[in-house]
Amino acid sequence: MNTTLFQTLRGLLTPPADARNHEAAPAYALSPRAALAQLAATGCLTPTFYASAETQLDEVLALAAQVDAEYVARVAVAAREQGYMKDMPALLAAHLATRDTALLERVFPRVIDSGRMLRTFVQILRSGAVGRKSLGSAPKRMVRDWLAGRSDAALFRASVGTTPSLADIVKMVHPRPTTDARRALYGYLLGRDHVADDLPEIVRAYEATKADPARAAADGTIPDVPFQMLASLPFDPATERAVWAEIARTAPWHATRMNLNAFARHGAFAEPGVAETVAMRLADPESVRRARAFPYQLFMAYSQVSADVPHVVKEALQDAMEVAIGNVPSLGGRVVVCPDVSGSMSSPVTGYRRGATSAVRCIDVAALVAASVLRTNPSARVLPFETRVVDVALNGRDSVLTNAAKLAAVGGGGTDCSAPLARLNAETAEVDLVFLVSDNESWVDAGNPRYGTGTMREWNRLKARNPGVKLVCLDMQPHRTVQAAPRADVLHVGGFSDRVFEVVAAFAAGTLGADHWVGQIEAISI
C-alpha cells in the first residue's frame, strides 16, 4: 500500500489556506464582517509589530465600505461598549457620518459617550481621513445634542484635553445655552465675559481650590474633577504635599488605581498614613467587587507604577488582583492554555505611541490570561510556545502576577502556532478545551497552502482523538487572517478585555456558538 499517498489524501481534508499572513505564510482569510470586528476590537490606530497606523486605517475603511452600514454601526457599538476601545469606534462613527447620518444618530450616544470620545470623533471628521474636512449639519446637530444632554458638572469634567479642546468644539457647533449656568459655563470655557456667580457649583469650587489649594484641602472642599485639572493647580511648594495627601485619602477606588504615580509624584505618600490608607482601599475585597475590577485593570496598574510608589501599595495591588481573579469563571474539563511567547509578542499591546507607549506588551497579556486560567482552573496545563513548546514550571498556588512574570520572561524566537497542538498529539493527550493566545503570525510551520496551515493540520489530528474538543483563538493584534479555519469547533476572539473570560467560558459550556464574534454583533439592537 502506498502510505504516502493516503497520508496526502488525509491531509487534503484540511481546508486549503486561502490567504497569506504578514510573514507570507499560509493562513485563512476572515470574512469582511469578521475582519472588521477583529480590527475594531484590536486596532488602536498606532503602529504595531506588523502593521502601521496607516495600514490599519486603510484596512478598516476598506472593510467598512464592504459591509452594510447597520453592521458598521453595530461594530462601533460593540467595540465601545464591550471592547472599551476608543479610536476605532470613533473612526467607524465618523465613517457613518459620510454614509448614513440617520443611522449615526441612532448610535451616537452609545459610541460617543465621553468628552474624550467626542474630541476624537470631531478630530477624525475634520482631518479628512474619512473623505470630508468639516462636521456637516447633521453631525453638528448631534454634537449640540450631546452637549445639551450633559449636566453642567459632567460638561466641565469633560473639558480636559486638546486637539480639539471642548472650547474648540463649542466654537464649531454654536450650542444655545438654555440656563444662566450653562451660559456662564460656555463663557468660562471660551475665555469670554461671564457672570461668575452664575457658574455651576463645581466650577466655583474648582476656582476656589485654584485660589487656595491648601485651604480647600483643610476644609475638605476639593471638588470631584479629573486629575488633570488638579495637577494643573498653582500649588504652593510648602503646601502641595498636604493637598495631594488629602486627594489621595479621599479618591474613589478606580481613581486611586489610575493615579498612583500622580500621588507619588506630588509627595502624597510622604505624609503619615497616606500609603496605608490607599493600600487598604485598593485591597479591600468589597471595594474590589463593588468596582467590578478585573485582572487586566490591576495588571496594567501594577505594570505602570513607578519606583516611588510605596511597597505596601504595590502589595495591595497584588492582593486586589487575587480578589479580582474571583471574577474569572472556571472553564471546567481538561483545559490547555497556550500563550505565545515569541519575539513579536514583545511589542506594546496598544501599539507604539510617541511619548506614551504602553509598558504592557502582548506577551504580558498572554501571560496574564494563562496565569488567570491556571488560578481558577488548577488542573489546567500551560504550554507556552514560540518555535516549540517552552517548558516553564508554574505553581497554581502562586500569585497571578508571579506566574505571569515567569511566562513573560521566556521565549523570544519565531512563531509556530501548531507547536502546542503537536505536543498534545505526540502525547496522545485527552483534552476538552485548547485556549491559544497569540498575535497569529505563525510562519515556522509554513508549508504548501494546499494542505492548509500547520495549526489546522494538528488541530484535525487532535480532533480525531477528542471529538468534543474546542479551540479558542484569542488574537492579540489587528490582522485579517487566522491560523485556524473558522468553523463550529473554533472560536476566534479579537483583542482583550476582561469580558474575554466570560465569552470563553460560555463557548466551552456550549452556550455560545463559534459564530459568536460576528453573531453577537449582528444581534446588537440599534
Q: In sequence order, what are the residues at sequence separation of 6 or more whose Cβ sits closer than 8 angstroms to the Cβ of residue 106?
A: 73, 526
Per-residue pLDDT, 517: 64
Per-residue pLDDT, 203: 96
Prediction pTM value: 0.76
Print the domain residue range for 279: 227-324
Q: What angle do CA 185, 189, 190 make, to 5 degrees?
A: 115
Neighbours of 519 (CB within 10 A): 11
Helix (H) or strand (E) holding 87: helix 87-97
Residue 33 lies in a domain: no
Per-residue pLDDT, 11: 42
Same domain, 424 and 468: yes
Same domain, 261 and 369: no
> How far is the C-alpha of 88 from the C-alpha of 40, rounded, in Å?
5
Residue 208 lies in a domain: no
Residue 44 lies in a domain: no
Per-residue pLDDT, 9: 39
Same domain, 424 and 297: no
Per-residue pLDDT, 13: 67
Residue 210 lies in a domain: no
Same domain, 494 and 371: yes
Per-residue pLDDT, 478: 58
Of 478, 412, 438, 440, the C-alpha closest to 52 is 478
Q: In terms of C-beta density within 10 A (0-12 exposed, 13-18 middle, 19 or more buried), how is residue 178 classed?
A: exposed
Domain of residue 343, CATH code: 3.40.50.410
> How far is the C-alpha of 70 from the C-alpha of 522, rounded, in Å?
9
Contact predicate 476/349, CB 8 Å: yes
Q: In terms of C-beta density within 10 A (0-12 exposed, 13-18 middle, 19 or more buried), how is residue 278 classed?
A: buried
Per-residue pLDDT, 513: 63
- Positions in the chain short of pLDDT 50: 1-12, 49-50, 355-357
Q: What angle do CA 153, 159, 163 make, to 5 degrees?
A: 165
Per-residue pLDDT, 12: 39
Residue 205 lies in a domain: no
Phi (first) and psi of residue 94, to 5 degrees: -65, -40
Phi-psi region of 131 (alpha: psi -120 to 50; beta: other; left: phi over 0): left
Report the domain count for the chain. Answer: 3
Same domain, 299 and 404: no
Same domain, 309 and 372: no
> How far is the C-alpha of 148 from the C-alpha of 242, rounded, in Å?
37
Per-residue pLDDT, 34: 83
Instruction: Give pLDDT tens digits for 393-428.
Output: 877 777 777 877 787 788 777 888 899 999 999 999
Same domain, 348 and 316: no
Residue 455 lies in a domain: yes
Helices 240-250, 274-283: crossing angle, 10 deg rounding: 20
End position of a domain, from candidates 324, 350, 366: 324
